[in-house]
Structure 1
Amino acid sequence: MSTNNSQSVKRSFLDRYFQFQEHRTNLKTELIASFTTFITMVYIVFVNPKILGDAGMDSQAVFVTTALITGIACMLMGIVAKLPIALAPGMGINAYFAYVLVGSMGLTWQTGMTLIFLGAAGLFLLSVFRLRYWMISNIPLSLRIGVSSGCGLLITLIGLHNAHIIIADPDTMVRLGNPTSIPFILGCLSFLIVAVLAQRKWNSSILLSFVIVTLIGWAIDPEVTYHGLVSLPPDISGVVGQLDFSKVFEVTLVGIIISVMLINLFESSGTFIAVTEKAGLADKDGRYPNQQKSLYIDSASSALGAAMGTSAVTAYVESASGVAVGGRTGMMALGVGVLFLCAVFLSPLERMVPLYATTGALIYIGVLMASDLARVKWDDLTEAVPAFVATIMMPFSFTITEGIATGFITYVFMKLFTGRYKEITICAAVMAVLFLARYAFLF
């Protein structure tokens, strides 16, 4: 008895707080997992500023706020929810914001970021009223797959456009760009590097592609210049707290708020379940320790990210790389957060990175998001048609909102007129009615 007591006394504060012994891990393993996860997702501090910079935002300031919100969100997840899950601005939402809301629809970036903020705030309310898990379980699988896959195709199209691999054409809508141009060649190379390294199980495939293509661009592209390695963080007041609520409640924009909320809902919920299952923390129903706390942190961080000018924050599937090397507790997420806070001093490197270096990451993420199409019941048209419509409408309409709207409407229509109306969930019916009402007001 005395031996057990002496052993319990010797346990460090971190050991007791994060329950290393109970999870069969230790501080060294958790720190290795932190560094592994950081390496696999640090690309976001370079990609996010490039994408948001295309919307007219100060990319240097966005670099800093991206690192800050990632650090804060990860540390909160680690300390409060005690889960090995890292969070950062989502790749789907940032591209949607920059190239659709601002680029295509002509909104100011301040208004666009406010829509992202309201979508995240809506997700927070769903978490507070414990409706988030209910919504996930009541949205048909075919629609969840269609929305995710459609986002993937839209992100892929944006990646191809950034490298001028696909360009606009007045006669054929789009066509192949100049195969001999530097952006075209290095954009293709960036994707091939990511794909090959990912197949060979290199967790840092995106980061390595980013570094290799940037260095090659530095050597052969006169527009790529070196501006230094470290410096004090630049002024971020130009992007923080710049939300503009003056136009966001127009009928045409309400659908965007709902779309942002649903995208965040699908992305984060799927990642939470996948990573906790890999860590052995989830039960057969997908529930895991401190689930409600993790949902609060996820949605609150998402809203804070938009307020800070970095787009919505989401749970990152790259967390699985840290779990794979032994990460099991919130110490892993805490370590990732500390590393991202240190990254704020690397802002000069952001200016060196060419836009086409992001192509590989965007297309690869598109591949991952579209891979779930294999799970659609293609022999059941009441499931296949809505999934297909949601998938193709996003890239072809160049907006996520229309993909989600037409997906829900098609699902209810197919089930209703094939005599399978009992399969229509309350959530699907309500969403279809809301989107039909939106179209009625729009046209």
Structure 2
Amino acid sequence: MLLVQGLYQGHLLMGSPTGPVQLGNMADPVAYISLVGIIAMLSLMAVGARWAVLGGVLTSAVLAFAGGFWVLPDAPFFLPEGLDRTGLQLIFMNGWENVKVCDYADLSLVLTLFLILSGWGGLKALAPHLDDGQMGRSLLSLSGLSFIACLLGTMPLTAAPESAAGQAMGGRTGRMGYWTAAFLALLLFMEPTLQSMASFPSIFAPAFAGAGLVLLLRMKPVFSGGIADKVAAGLLFLILPLTQDVAAGLGAACIAYVSLTLLSGGHVSRFLRVLAVAFLLYFFYGFWSIL
């Protein structure tokens, strides 16, 4: 999904009247600058550079700046503000009493399933050595941080797949995480500059494509199981990039895995059975809403 998103954002893939997708037009500045950035990233990967993805992003950024597709704003630095408009707004938002209970329940179910599966998958990719007890404690800590983050007005936190990609390329954990947090905190004061850069989609296309490529190279064990494992993985690889719908991809994979495993006489945990039923209800509710 990340790889396809990067190619779409960089206009290297686009919709086609005769098929699902077609190659982009190289006369489009977004397309050729994205292509140069991705080629630079792949070249750095080939020589073993740990900063390959960052190098691709910087290459695209420099080319776009030289071409005048983004410019430094008059005030490149900005004092962060807005906590008074985001903090606790999830609880004390206007009109919450008019929201239907069923809408809250639907949103809560989907968000909970996504956070559990995404958090577990991200942590498993970042730290595959963790046992069940350590994984549970890590998820509990992540949930506590998400609760605090939501009170401050941000989206819930989860272990990003980009972090797993960085670790796969040789990035170190521990103190490197604190340095990364400090770097991102400093970027808060450069919001106008970053907003100007983000206005040209080529700049971050190598970041999406690079993270997706690195994760894709680690996916070989996913297809080494039985028919249920392979079909579930295949559905994820097919549905996520085409629909950009995480719930649809995870739900279809979960239902397929549980159904095929039970049909083949295998054992499925009670948790996965309940999860499959929940996704069936989710799909049924979605189809019924469309009809």
**After the TM superposition, which residues 332-411 of structure 1 pair with which residues of structure 2 at under 5 Å, given as runs?**
332-353=176-197, 354-378=200-224, 380-411=226-257
Does the 8 Å CA contact 1:251/1:441 hold for their aligned counterparts?
Answer: no
Does the 8 Å CA contact 2:14/2:23 hold for their aligned counterparts?
Answer: yes
Unaligned 5+ residue runs, structure 1?
1-153
**After the TM superposition, which residues 30-429 of structure 1 pair with which residues of structure 2 at under 5 Å, given as runs?**
154-220=1-67, 222-227=68-73, 230-237=76-83, 241-243=88-90, 246=99, 248-249=103-104, 251=106, 254-271=109-126, 273-274=127-128, 285=131, 295-306=139-150, 307-309=152-154, 312-314=157-159, 316-317=163-164, 318=166, 321=170, 323=172, 332-353=176-197, 354-378=200-224, 380-418=226-264, 420-421=265-266, 423-429=267-273
User: What is the DSSP-based 3-state SS (H/G/I as helix, E as strand, rest coil) of the residue aligned with 1:167?
Assistant: strand
Task: Please report how far the alpha carbon of residue 391 of structure 1 lies from its aligned counterpart in structure 2 after TM superposition.
Answer: 2.2
Alpha-carbon separation, structure 2, partners of 1:241 and 1:200: 48
Which deviates further from its counterpart, 371-380 or 256-265? 371-380
* TM, length-normalised to structure 1: 0.53
Task: Please report how far the alpha carbon of residue 313 of structure 1 lies from its aligned counterpart in structure 2 after TM superposition.
Answer: 4.3
Q: 2:54 corresponds to which letter in structure 1? A: L
Unaligned 5+ residue runs, structure 2?
none
**1:299/1:164 Cα in 2 relative to 1: closer, same or farther (>3 Å)?**
same
Which deviates further from its counterpart, 233-242 or 393-402? 233-242
Alpha-carbon separation, structure 2, partners of 1:438 and 1:292: 25
Aligned residues between the structures: 271
Task: Please report how far the alpha carbon of residue 197 of structure 1 lies from its aligned counterpart in structure 2 after TM superposition.
Answer: 1.3
The one of the two structures with greater contact order (alpha-carbon pairs below 8 A, sep at least 6) is: 1
Alpha-carbon separation, structure 2, partners of 1:202 and 1:415: 42
Which deviates further from its counterpart, 173-182 or 428-437? 173-182
Alpha-carbon separation, structure 2, partners of 1:438 and 1:432: 10
Alpha-carbon separation, structure 2, partners of 1:254 and 1:409: 16
Alpha-carbon separation, structure 2, partners of 1:440 and 1:386: 19
Does the 8 Å CA contact 1:163/1:183 hold for their aligned counterparts?
Answer: yes
User: What is the DSSP-based 3-state SS (H/G/I as helix, E as strand, rest coil) of the residue aligned with 1:308?
Assistant: coil
Taking only the aligned residue pairs, the percentage that are identical comes to 16
Task: Please report how far the alpha carbon of residue 332 of structure 1 lies from its aligned counterpart in structure 2 after TM superposition.
Answer: 4.9
**1:173/1:384 Cα in 2 relative to 1: closer, same or farther (>3 Å)?**
closer
* TM, length-normalised to structure 2: 0.77
**1:301/1:397 Cα in 2 relative to 1: closer, same or farther (>3 Å)?**
same
| Deviation sequence 1:90-133 (CA, Å, 0-9, x none) | xxxxxxxxxxxxxxxxxxxxxxxxxxxxxxxxxxxxxxxxxxxx
Does the 8 Å CA contact 2:50/2:171 hold for their aligned counterparts?
Answer: no
Taking only aligned residues, the RMSD between alpha carbons, in angstroms, comes to 3.2
Task: Please report how far the alpha carbon of residue 360 of structure 1 lies from its aligned counterpart in structure 2 after TM superposition.
Answer: 0.7
Does the 8 Å CA contact 2:122/2:158 hold for their aligned counterparts?
Answer: no
Alpha-carbon separation, structure 2, partners of 1:230 and 1:178: 33
**1:357/1:336 Cα in 2 relative to 1: closer, same or farther (>3 Å)?**
closer
Alpha-carbon separation, structure 2, partners of 1:204 and 1:348: 25
Alpha-carbon separation, structure 1, partners of 2:59 and 2:192: 17
**Which residue does 1:11 correspond to in 2?**
none
Does the 8 Å CA contact 2:10/2:202 hold for their aligned counterparts?
Answer: yes
**Which residue does 1:430 correspond to in 2?**
274
Alpha-carbon separation, structure 2, partners of 1:295 and 1:250: 22
| Deviation sequence 1:399-419 (CA, Å, 0-9, x none) | 11111111111112212222x
Alpha-carbon separation, structure 1, partners of 2:75 and 2:48: 29
**1:230/1:160 Cα in 2 relative to 1: closer, same or farther (>3 Å)?**
same
